[in-house]
Structure 1
Amino acid sequence: MPRSASDKRERLTAAAIRLARTQGLDATTIADIAAEAGVPSGSVYYYFKTKDDVAAGIADGIREALAAQAAEHADTSADARAALTAFLTSYVDESDAILDHGTVLATAARVGFSSAHEQALEWIAQQFEDLGFASSAATARAQHLLAGVEGGAALASALATATPLEREVAHLTRWVANAKP
C-alpha cells in the first residue's frame, strides 16, 4: 500500500527537524532532507519550496510535538505535580539526543520559532496555577523551571556529559515535589 501524502510530509518534517538539530538549518539542504526522509529530492519541493518553508515546517513540527507532549503529560498524570515531573523526566529520557544536538526548544529558537518557549512557559505556569499558585507566582516558577532544565541541558551538551542535566532535573523534581502555594 502506498504511503499517504501526509505521511511523506511528516517524514520530511521529522527529517528536517533532525537535521536542524544535528547540523543547523543553514547547513541543511533540500537534498539532505530528501536523503534523511528517504524520498526523491524533487518531491521535497512540493512541500518546501524555500528555506523559509523548511523553517516554517520545522516550527510546525515542533509545535505539534510540544502539543502532543503536553497532552501526553495531561493524559498520563493524575495531577499537575506529576505532569511537571514527567516533563522534567523527558529531558533525562532525551539526554543522548540533547548531548548530541541540543533540546527541541533550542532547535525551535534557532529556526525562528520563538513562541515555542512561550508555549512551554504557558503550559508550565498552568501546572503551577493548578497547584494553587497565583498567576504571577506560577509564571515566575515556570520561568525558573524552564531556565533550570534548559540551562542544565545546555551545560550537559557543552560538557558532553549528561550529569549536569541529570542533577538539575533531580533538583527541580524535588523542588516541584515540595512546592506549596
Structure 2
Amino acid sequence: MPRNPSDKRERLTAAAIRLARTQGLEATTIAAIAAEAEVPSGSVYYYFKTKTDVAQAIADGIAAVLAGEAAEHSGAQDPRDALTSFLSSYLDDADTTVEYGTVLSTAARVGSGDAHAQVLAWIADTFMELGFAESAAHARAQHLLAGLEGGAALASALGDTAPLEREVAHLTRWVANAKP
C-alpha cells in the first residue's frame, strides 16, 4: 500500500532521529535518512537543506515525542503513577539505551537542551501536583532526571541494563514515599 505523501516530513524526521541515535549526527547523511524513510534522496532536500536543518528537525521531533509521552503519563489519576509510568518507560527502551543512549542524550548530542528543559518542567509540575513547593519540586525533578540519565549512561558504558534497572527501582520507591 503506498504511503501518504503528506506524512513525508514526519517519516524523514523519525528516520533522522533513529539514525542520529544509532550512529550519531555526523554519520547521519541525507542519503541515509532517505533510505531509512524510504523516500527519494532528492526529496529530503525539500525538508532539510543543511545538517543544521537535520539537527533542528531531530531536536523538534524528540521534543514532540516527549510531549506526547508526558501527555500519556499525565493521564494517570495519581501524580505518583504518572512519575512511575515515566520511570518505567526508561525500562521499555533499556536495550536500545544500552546500545545507543537515551532519546534525551541524542537531543543533547544534536545541540538541543530544550528536550531536557521540557522533561524537567513536566516532572516538576508533577511533583507540584503532589503538593511540593515550586523550588522543592524543581529540585526533585532534577534529582529524578539526573538519576535516570546517569543510570542510563552507566548502563550504556557497561553494556548492561542492570544499572538502569536498579536506578528505576530506587527512584520508583523514592517517588512512592515522597511527601511534601
TM-score (norm 1): 0.97
Distance 1:165 1:57, change over 3 A: same
Two-structure CA RMSD over aligned residues (Å) = 1.0
1:71-86 superposed matches below 5 A: 71-75=71-75, 77-86=76-85
What SS is found at the alignment partner of 1:58?
Answer: helix
1:27-176 superposed matches below 5 A: 27-75=27-75, 77-176=76-175
- Structure 1: which 4+ aligned runs deviate by more than 6 Å? none
Q: CA deviation at 1:164?
A: 0.2
What SS is found at the alignment partner of 2:27?
Answer: coil
| C-alpha distance in structure 2 between counterparts of 1:127 and 1:144, whole Å | 14
The answer (yes or no) to whether the contact 2:63–2:114 under 8 Å persists in 1 is no
Q: CA deviation at 1:4?
A: 3.1
Amino acid at match of 2:10: E
Amino acid at match of 1:90: S
Q: CA deviation at 1:5?
A: 3.5
Amino acid at match of 1:58: I
| C-alpha distance in structure 1 between counterparts of 2:6 and 2:147, whole Å | 36
Deviation string for 1:77-134 (max 9, x for gaps)? 1121000000000000110110111000000011111111111100000011000000
Amino acid at match of 1:56: Q
State the partner residue of 1:26: 26
Q: CA deviation at 1:2?
A: 4.5
| C-alpha distance in structure 2 between counterparts of 1:59 and 1:6, whole Å | 21
Q: CA deviation at 1:6?
A: 3.3
Is there any run of 5+ residues in structure 2 with no aligned partner, and where?
Answer: none
Amino acid at match of 2:139: A
| Count of aligned positions | 180
Identify which range, 167-176 or 3-12, moves more after superposition. 3-12
Percent sequence identity over aligned pairs: 74
TM-score (norm 2): 0.97
| C-alpha distance in structure 1 between counterparts of 2:126 and 2:118, whole Å | 13
